[in-house]
Amino acid sequence: MKPEFNKNYKGMRCRVCLVRENVKGDLIPILQQKDVYELVKDELVNSDREVFLSIMLTSKNHLIGVETISIGSVNAAILSPREVFKGALLANAVSIILCHNHPSGDLTPSEDDIKITKRLIEVGELIGVKILDHLVVSDQGYRSLRDYLKFSE
């Protein structure tokens, strides 16, 4: 017996909605690495686990929103390109800045930090969402992987 598809899906629709924070507030420009650090430091510096965030931006580098991508363990956070770019695409972001903390305080990017950053830059180029930077944050300050890896803005 053939299923009746029209009856099976009725009412089971999915709507895609634009996700936006700060719709009515003042525009918040993100023009320097320090702006990102000031935006996220309170959340990241005080965390005892690695937290990976995506800072979503307009074409003029105004803040659209901040999304928590992953909360991991004391020395690792697991993420996939799919999760990193999902919110950015829904928010219609032109670019994103990635950041995560090192609870140890050491600002040196790990091999995994470097590897995932390179992979995310490649994926971003394919889908049209530019990775402007990736900051490692701790109570010692921050380090830019853009500067560390010498990738272009």
pLDDT per 10-residue tile (average), the chain, 153 residues: 54 55 73 95 93 96 94 81 95 96 94 94 97 96 91 59
Judge whether 28 lies within some domain: yes
Judge whether 3 lies within some domain: no
Distance, CA of 121 to CA of 116 (rounded, Å): 9
Q: Which pLDDT value is given to residue 14? A: 55
> Are residues 132 and 95 in contact, defined by beta-carbon separation less than 8 angstroms?
yes
For 18-32, what is each residue's pLDDT tens digit? 555 555 667 899 999
Supply the pTM of this predicted model: 0.83
Q: Which pLDDT value is given to residue 72? A: 78
Judge whether 64 lies within some domain: yes
Question: Judging by beta carbons within 10 Å of its beta carbon (0-12, 13-18, 19+), is residue 14 exposed, middle or buried?
Answer: exposed
Q: Which pLDDT value is given to residue 150? A: 80
Judge whether 11 lies within some domain: no
> Could you give the 3-state DSSP secondary structure of residue 5?
helix
What is the number of structural domains in the chain? 1
Q: Which pLDDT value is given to residue 115? A: 94
As beta bridge partners, residue 56 has 65, 96
> Could you give the 3-state DSSP secondary structure of residue 35?
helix
**Could you tell me the CATH number of the domain that includes residue 126?**
3.40.140.10
Judge whether 10 lies within some domain: no
Q: Which pLDDT value is given to residue 73? A: 80
Range of the domain at 112: 18-149
For 90-99, what is each residue's pLDDT tens digit? 999 999 999 9
Q: Which pLDDT value is given to residue 77? A: 81
